[in-house]
Amino acid sequence: MTTKTPYVPPSPPDASNEPMRLRLWRELQRLDRVLLLLVLFMVLGGVIMVISAGVPFAVTRFAKEPLYFIKRHLLFLALGLATMVVLALWDYRHLLNSRLLLPVTLFFLGLLLFVDVRNQIGHLAGRTLLTQRGSGQPGEFVKPLLVIYLAAWLHKRKTALGSPWRVWFSAGAIIAIFTLLLLFQPDVSSAGTAVLLGFLMLLLSGATWSQVLVTIIGLTVMSTVGLRLIALVYAPASDRLAAYIQAWKDPTLVTGHVQQAFFAFLRGGWWGRGLGASQGKVYTLPLPHTDSVFAVIGEEFGIVGALLVLILFTALLWRGFLIAARAPDGFGRMLAAGLTSWLVLEAYIHMGGMVGFLPQAGNALPFFSYGGSNLMASSMAVGLLFSVSRLGRTTSEEVSPHAVVDLRGRYRRRHLSRPGRVPAASE
């Protein structure tokens, strides 16, 4: 009787002898292609909208050359895409043992504190480091940094601190520091975004039902009291809140930014007036290339075009959470889910404010709005998402040849006999 030699899976090729160019190409092929396609659509749409909305705004209301905004946007886009590629090929797990995460976080918090102190001393109300040129917004980097820092902090200290409530209150103190520094700018929308992101990270870390209930009650009380206090202290927030309430009572009586956004969507109808044909970006919409870019999309591409943008970010939410589910470790799951939530939350707040579903806020529409800080921060977040997906796919590829169950039978292993079946002599 002949004995069959057991099948031994071939060993993977030695990557150490491969040229660097081939190794990079092999790693790039492991990137999530669906996420790559979504990001390319967003980047292309952002370039088109900055050209469409930025050119007339630069000439008529900013007294600059027609290509002023698109030149700067393309410059930051090139830097952002380069950073995205570098982070995609980097191992995100180095963040757990890196000594740079805390200094970088403290650096941007220090910049945020500098802006707050300067505004208080000079009686200003800006979010930028260079007020004359209106550039450099540290608040745009602080929000994703909150996600990254909490993901690493919770992953390392969840068991070290012992009591779940101790972890909960310690993380709450970290969230409070980020939120207060954003609120003192004043930047109410970013502060609210930071609170929601912090709550999400706590949930992802494995919160108990009692902790969730206490947090929901606390957020409800803080939101009710905080909105009243902010409305008394910060006049623009009071006006936006009043416009939001009025939009739900009687949309025909809405004034200000929300009214102009409504008119833009009405002029656009279902199919839009066409690329470059928006009237609101020239005359009425404030900051059409940044804060009002979704209204310009609605006027030029109609409700159908606006829905496509909404579907695009919803697809990003689905893909980001799928990447989180396939992450090789708990830190990757929290990091991918948190960064995806930040990107999509920014988009939903921006779009919801333009249609009156949410209070009008200054959140940018990622990759569509003009702005170097938000574009760089969004590119960094997507780069880390690519890193999580690449390493998750690498791990699955390494495990799959040794899988216990082989549905296709391609490893030529012995199969289990059915009940009552007598094995053949060759088996």
Cα angle at 134 between 130 and 139, to 5 degrees? 80
Instruction: Please report the pLDDT score of residue 255 as a whole number.
Output: 65
pLDDT surpassing 80 at residue 291: yes
- The Cα–Cα gap between 388 and 90 comes to 9
> Which band of pLDDT confidence, cut at 50, 70 and 90, is reported for residue 225?
low
Answer yes or no: is pLDDT of 425 > 60.
Answer: no
Q: Can you give the pLDDT at residue 417? A: 41
Structural domain boundaries of the chain?
A: 26-398
pLDDT band at 336 (very low <50, low <70, confident <90, very high): very high
Q: How confident is the model at residue 404 (pLDDT cuts 50, 70, 90)?
A: very low
The amino acid present at 213, given as its one-letter code, is: L
What is the pLDDT averaged over residues 152-156? Answer: 86
| DSSP output for 125-170 | ----SBTTTTB--HHHHHHHHHHHHHHHHHHHHTTTS--HHHHHHH
Query: Mean pLDDT lowest for which of 13-17, 307-311, 389-393?
Result: 13-17
- Sole residue written with tokens 């963040």: 95
Q: How many helices (H) and strands (E) does the chain have?
A: 15, 0
Read off the pLDDT band of 400 (50, 70, 90): very low
pLDDT band at 409 (very low <50, low <70, confident <90, very high): very low
Helix ranges (DSSP H) in 6-137: 20-28, 33-60, 68-88, 94-97, 101-122
How far from 275 is each of 48, 68, 278, 300, 301, CA to CA, in Å?
A: 9, 19, 8, 5, 7
Average pLDDT in the 348-365 region? 84
User: Residue 407 — very low, low, confident or very high, per pLDDT cuts 50/70/90?
Assistant: very low
The H or E element containing residue 308 is helix 293-325
CA angle, 137 then 275 then 349, to 5°: 40
Q: How high is the pLDDT of residue 229?
A: 62
pLDDT at 43 over 70: yes
At which residue do the structure tokens 């912090």 appear? 198
| Residue with the larger pLDDT of the pair 15 and 248 | 248
What local confidence, expressed as pLDDT, does residue 134 receive?
A: 53
The residue among 222, 229, 225, 228 whose CA lies nearest residue 199 is: 222
What pLDDT score does 250 carry? Answer: 64
Residues 6+ apart with CB under 8 A from 323: 32, 35, 336, 340, 385, 388, 389, 392
Q: Give the C-alpha separation, 83 to 91, whole Å.
A: 14
Element (H, E) at 339: helix 330-354
Strand ranges for 182-246 from DSSP E? none
pTM summary value: 0.81
Q: Which residue has the higher pLDDT, 376 or 401?
A: 376
* Distance between CA atoms of residues 339 and 342, nearest Å: 5
**Better pLDDT: 275 or 408:** 275
User: For residue 381, how many C-alpha atoms fall within 13 Å in the half-sphere facing its CB?
Assistant: 33
Nearest CA-CA partner of 171 in 143, 135, 147? 147
**Contact indicator for 168, 99 with CB cutoff of 8 Å:** no
What's the first-to-final CA gap in the chain, in angstroms?
11
Query: Residue 25 class from Cβ within 10 Å (0-12 exposed, 13-18 middle, 19+ buried)?
Result: exposed
pLDDT band at 395 (very low <50, low <70, confident <90, very high): low
pLDDT higher than 60, residue 376 = yes
Most confident of 23-27, 206-210, 279-283: 279-283
**Model pLDDT for residues 113-129, shown as the tens digit of each residue:** 887 677 666 545 556 66
With 80 as the cut, is the pLDDT of residue 383 above it? yes
Min mean pLDDT across 62-76, 180-194, 382-396 is at 180-194
Percent of the chain with pLDDT over 90: 30
> Would you state the pLDDT for residue 119?
64
Of the candidate ranges 189-193, 302-306, 355-359, 403-407, the one whose mean pLDDT is the lowest: 403-407
> How high does pLDDT run on average in the chain?
78
State what percent of residues in the chain have pLDDT above 70. 73
Report the distance separating Cα 71 and Cα 354, nearest Å. 26
pLDDT at 149 over 60: yes
pLDDT bucket at 381, cuts 50 / 70 / 90: very high
Whole-number Å distance between alpha carbons of 320 and 367? 16
Q: Please, what sign has the CA dihedral across residues 48, 50, 55, 61?
A: positive
8 Å CB contact between 139 and 190: yes
| Residue 347, both tokens | 């988009």
Confidence of residue 77 (pLDDT cuts 50, 70, 90): very high
Mean pLDDT of 222-231: 64
Question: What does the alpha-carbon distance between residue 251 and residue 271 come to, in Å, rounded to a whole number?
Answer: 22
